Amino acid sequence: MIRNTFIKEITELARDGRVKIAFFIVLVLLGISTWISSRQYNSTNQQYAEARNAERSIWNNQGEKNPHSAAHYGTYAFKPKYPLSLIDQGVDKYAGTSIFLEAHNRNEAQFSQAADQTGLARFGDLTPDFILLFIIPLLIVLLGYNAFTKEREMRTLVLIKSQGIAPWKLILGKWTALFLPILVITTLVIVGAGVILSNLEDFGVFKWSNLGILFLVYICYYIVFVNLVLIVSSKSKKSSISLVLSLAIWIIACFVAPKAASNFAETKHPYPTRQEFAANILKDKKEGLDGHDPWNKQAKLLEQEVLKEYNVDSLHQLPFNFDAYRMQKGEEHNAEVYFKHYKYLKSQFEGQTKVYVGLATLSPFLPTRFLSMGVANTDYSTHWDFSDAAEDYRIKMQAYLNNDFAKNSSHGDWSYKAEEATWKKLPAFEYSPPQLAEILSRNSSNIIVLVAWLLGSFSFLFITIKLR
C-alpha cells in the first residue's frame, strides 16, 4: 500500500503542470542565487587578500618612527569571508568587514556591504538561504496542501478505508511522495555548493562535514513543514481551506514569528543607544588613568608607586621611560573599561538569544535560521568572536609598542624613533572561526528545539490523525 500510494502521488505530481513550473522556477532561482553568491564570494575574498596584504605592507614600511606615533597610525583587522557564506550570508552584510586598531580606542567594525548599497537594497537579495528558508517551504505547501483533501473531494478516501488499509500506511506513502522531490532539490543545492567551494582556489576553512550538518538542518526543517502541511490537509474538508491554512502557517512561521521574536527580544533586553554607550565609556575612562596626562590624579599616584618600588627620587633615574610605562598603564585601564561595557552588550545579546530560543517553539524557522548561520560562521556569535580577537590583538599590539618605547628610551625622550624592523616583528593579525563542535555546542538549545519540532510533528501526524 505504501509503495502504491507513493507511485500514485509521484505520478500525479509529475503530470501536474503547476508542479513542473514551480520546480523549474525554484531550480532557476537556486541556480541564479548560487551563481551570484559565488561571484560575491570570489570578489570579497580577492578584496580581503588585497586589503590585508596592502595594509600589512603599509604597516611594515612606515619607516623610523616613535612607537606611540605608530600606535596612533594604527592598522586594520580584516574579517575573512567563510566558504559556507555562499549558502547563508547571515549578518555579514550588516556587521562590517574590518576594524581599525589604534591606541586608546576600541573601534566598531565598519565598511559593511549594506552601507554601500542604495535604497533598492530594501527589496532584499536573491541568495541561496532565502530560497532554502522561504521558497522551498512554500513549494512544500503548494505540493502537499491537497494530499488528503483531493481524496476526500473525489470520494476515493472512502474506497481506500473500505479496503481496511491502515491509515499510517496511506500517510507514509503520501509523506514519502511529498518529501522525495524536496530531498532531491536540497541535495542538488548542497552538493552543487560543495563542488563549487571545493574548486575555488582559496576555500580556506571549508569542510564537507560542516556542509553535511547544514544539509541535515535544512532536511529537518523541511520534514517539519511536510508534516505540518499533511496534518492540515488531513484535517481539512476542502482543498481551498487547506491551502489557506497551510499558507497561513508558512506566513506565521517564516515572517510573523521571527519579526515578533525580534521585537520582543529587543524590548526585553534593549541595547543602549550609540550615544549612551560612548558617553558611559568616556565617563569611566575619565575616572581612571589617562596615559597622555602626567598631571592626572591616577597618573601621579602611579608615579609615586613606581618611584617607591624602584627606590629612586626621580623619574629620570628609572631604568625605563616612565612616559611609555604610564601610557601602557593607561591602555590597560582603557581595555578594562571597554571589556566592562562590551561585556554588558554581550549579556544583552545573550539575553536576546535566550528569548529567541524560547520563542522558537512557535516556529521551526528560528532554530533553523540560527543553526544555519552558526554552521556557516555568519552569525552574530562569530562576529563577536572576531571582534574580541581583534581587540585582543589591539591590546597586545599596544603593549608591544609601549614596551619598546619604554625599554629603548629614557623619561622625557619623545624624540626616540624605533627602527623599521620593529614593525615587522609584530605578528600579523590572524583569526580562525569557531570549529564545528563548538558551534554545535553553542547552538545545543536550537538543536533540541528543532528535534522537538521534528518528533512532535511526526507524532501528531502518525499517531493522532484518523482519516475521516
Q: What is the pLDDT of residue 205?
A: 64
Half-sphere CA count of 284, side-chain side, radius 13 A: 15
In three state form, how does the secondary structure of 262-288 look? HHHHHHHCCCCCHHHHHHHHHHHHHCC
Residue ranges of the chain whose pLDDT lies below 50 = none
What's the number of domains the chain is made of?
1
The pLDDT score that the predictor gives to residue 92 is 81
Name residue 382's amino acid: T
Separation of alpha carbons 266 and 352, rounded Å: 7
d(CA 370, CA 128): 15
Q: What pLDDT score does 228 carry?
A: 95
Q: Given this model, what pLDDT does residue 82 score?
A: 85
Question: Which 3 state secondary structure label does DSSP give 53?
Answer: helix
What is the distance between the alpha carbons of residues 134 and 137, in angstroms, rounded to a whole number?
6
Residue 108's nearest CA partner among 382, 378, 384, 376 is 384
Say what the pLDDT of residue 328 is. 93
Of the candidates 113, 77, 105, the one whose C-alpha atom is nearest the C-alpha of residue 398 is 105
Contact by Cβ (8 Å): 429, 206? no
Phi, psi for residue 106 in degrees, rounded to 5: -100, 115
Residue 440 phi, psi dihedral angles, 5° rounding? -65, -40
d(CA 322, CA 302): 10
What does the chain come to in residues?
A: 468
Other C-beta atoms lying within 10 Å of the C-beta of residue 186: 19
Q: What is the pTM for the complete model shown?
A: 0.86
For residue 337, the enclosing domain spans 1-467
Q: Which three cell numbers stand for residue 7?
A: 507511485
pLDDT at 364 (0 to 100): 93
pLDDT at 201: 66
pLDDT for 121 equals: 59
Residue pLDDT, tens place only, 8-17: 777 877 777 7
How much is the pLDDT for 172?
Answer: 87
Between CA 142 and CA 126 the distance in angstroms is: 21
